[in-house]
Structure 1
Amino acid sequence: MIADFHFLRPLWLLALVAVPLLVVVIGRRTDVRAQWQGMIAPHLLDHLLIEKGGKRRFHPVHLTAALIAIAAIATAGPTWQREKPPFVEDTAPLAIAIDLTATMNATDLSPTRLERTKLKVQDILALRKGARTALFAYAGTAHMVLPLTDDANLIRTYVAALSPGIMPVAGKNTGKALQVVEDALSGEAVPGTILFMTDGVERTAFDAFAHYKGRNDLMVLGIGTADGGPVKTADGQFLTDATGARVRAKLDVDALKALQAASATQVATVTPDDADVRWIVRRIQTSFAQKTAEGLTRWYDAGWWLTIPIAILAALWFRRGWSVRWAVFVIAIGTALPGTRVEAAERSFADLWFTPDQKGQRAVDRGDFQGAAGDFTDPAWQGVALYRIGRYQDAINAFAQGDTAESYYNQGNALMHLDKVEEAVAAYQQALKQRPDWPEAKQNLAVAEKRKADKDKQDQDAEQEAAGLDPDQVQFDDKGTKGKEGTVPGAPQTAEMWMRNIQVSPADLLARKFAIEAKDAQP
Structure 2
Amino acid sequence: MITDFHFLRPLWLLALLAAPLLVMLIGRRTDVRSQWQNMIAPHLLDHLLIEKGGRRWLQPVHLTAVLIVIAAIAAAGPTWQREKPPFVEDTAPLAIAIDLTETMNATDVSPTRLERAKLKVQDILSLRKGARTALFAYAGTAHMVLPLTDDANLIKTYLAALSPSIMPVTGRDTGRALQVAEDALSSETVPGTILFMTDGVERTAFDAFARYQGRNDLMVLGIGTADGGPVKTADGQFLTDATGARVRAKLDVDALKALQAASKAQVATVTPDDSDVRWIIRRIQSSFAQKTAEGLTRWYDAGWWLTIPIALLAALWFRRGWTVRWAVYLVAVGTVLPGVKAEAADRSFADLWFTPDQQGQRAIDRGDFQGAAGDFQDPAWQGVALFRIGRYQDAIDAFAQGDTAESYYNQGNALMHLDKAEEAIAAYQQALKRRPDWPEARQNLAVAEKRKADNDKQDQDAQQEAAGLDPDQIQFDDKGKKGKEGTVAGAPQTAEMWMRNIQVSPADLLARKFAIEAKDAVP
TM-score by length of 2: 0.76
Paired with 1:5 and 1:434, the residues of 2 have a C-alpha distance of: 31
Conserved in 2, the CA contact under 8 Å of 1:86 and 1:365?
A: no
Residue 258 of structure 2: SS of its match in structure 1?
Answer: helix
Distance 1:505 1:349, change over 3 A: farther
Higher alpha-carbon deviation: 43-52 or 300-309: 43-52
Distance 1:266 1:447, change over 3 A: same
Paired with 1:370 and 1:349, the residues of 2 have a C-alpha distance of: 20
Paired with 1:97 and 1:417, the residues of 2 have a C-alpha distance of: 28
Residue 89 of structure 2: SS of its match in structure 1?
Answer: coil
Conserved in 1, the CA contact under 8 Å of 2:117 and 2:223?
A: yes
Partner of 1:279: 279
AA paired with 2:144? M
Unaligned 5+ segments in structure 2 are 474-486, 491-496
Partner of 2:70: 70
Partner of 2:209: 209
- RMSD (CA atoms): 4.4
Distance 1:193 1:485, change over 3 A: closer
TM alignment of 1:305-384, pairs within 5 A: 305-310=305-310, 316=317, 322=325, 345-376=345-376, 378-384=378-384
Higher alpha-carbon deviation: 55-64 or 137-146: 55-64
- The reply on whether 1:232 has 2:233 as its aligned counterpart is yes
Distance 1:385 1:223, change over 3 A: farther
- The reply on whether 1:196 has 2:196 as its aligned counterpart is yes
AA paired with 1:203? R
AA paired with 1:38? N
TM alignment of 1:82-481, pairs within 5 A: 83-226=83-226, 227-233=228-234, 239-242=239-242, 246-292=246-292, 299-310=299-310, 316=317, 322=325, 345-376=345-376, 378-389=378-389, 395=395, 399=399, 405-414=405-414, 416=416, 424-425=424-425, 427-429=427-429, 431-432=431-432, 435-451=435-451, 467=470, 469=472
Residue 40 of structure 1: SS of its match in structure 2?
Answer: coil
Higher alpha-carbon deviation: 155-164 or 314-323: 314-323
Conserved in 2, the CA contact under 8 Å of 1:395 and 1:414?
A: yes
Conserved in 2, the CA contact under 8 Å of 1:26 and 1:61?
A: yes
Paired with 2:459 and 2:230, the residues of 1 have a C-alpha distance of: 43
Q: Deviations over 1:111-151 (max 9, x none)?
A: 44333322221111001112222222222333333333322
TM alignment of 1:443-522, pairs within 5 A: 443-451=443-451, 467=470, 469=472, 484=488, 501=501, 503=503, 506-507=506-507, 510-511=510-511, 514-515=514-515, 517-518=517-518, 521-522=521-522
AA paired with 2:152? A
Q: Deviations over 1:226-260 (max 9, x none)?
A: 32222423x66655555565544332222222222
Distance 1:498 1:158, change over 3 A: closer
Distance 1:126 1:343, change over 3 A: farther
Paired with 1:427 and 1:508, the residues of 2 have a C-alpha distance of: 41
Residue 98 of structure 2: SS of its match in structure 1?
Answer: strand
Distance 1:457 1:255, change over 3 A: farther
Distance 1:391 1:147, change over 3 A: farther
Paired with 1:516 and 1:47, the residues of 2 have a C-alpha distance of: 109
AA paired with 1:77? G
Q: What number of residue pairs does the alignment pair up?
A: 497
Partner of 1:20: 20
Paired with 2:144 and 2:40, the residues of 1 have a C-alpha distance of: 95
Distance 1:59 1:206, change over 3 A: same
Residue 146 of structure 1: SS of its match in structure 2?
Answer: strand
Higher alpha-carbon deviation: 181-190 or 200-209: 181-190
Paired with 1:258 and 1:411, the residues of 2 have a C-alpha distance of: 47
AA paired with 1:185? L
Conserved in 1, the CA contact under 8 Å of 2:230 and 2:246?
A: no
AA paired with 1:95? A
Distance 1:98 1:415, change over 3 A: farther
Residue 350 of structure 1: SS of its match in structure 2?
Answer: helix
Conserved in 1, the CA contact under 8 Å of 2:499 and 2:509?
A: no
Partner of 2:479: none
Conserved in 1, the CA contact under 8 Å of 2:94 and 2:132?
A: yes
Higher alpha-carbon deviation: 392-401 or 193-202: 392-401
Paired with 1:99 and 1:210, the residues of 2 have a C-alpha distance of: 20
Conserved in 1, the CA contact under 8 Å of 2:219 and 2:267?
A: yes
Q: What is the percent sequence identity of the aligned residues?
A: 82
Unaligned 5+ segments in structure 1 are 471-482, 487-496
Residue 140 of structure 1: SS of its match in structure 2?
Answer: coil
Distance 1:228 1:398, change over 3 A: farther
Q: Deviations over 1:13-51 (max 9, x none)?
A: 454344334433553355343243234222333455577
Q: Deviations over 1:246-277 (max 9, x none)?
A: 54433222222222233332222223333322
AA paired with 2:258? A
Residue 272 of structure 2: SS of its match in structure 1?
Answer: coil
Paired with 1:502 and 1:163, the residues of 2 have a C-alpha distance of: 20
Q: CA shift at 1:202, angstroms?
A: 0.6
Paired with 2:508 and 2:445, the residues of 1 have a C-alpha distance of: 26
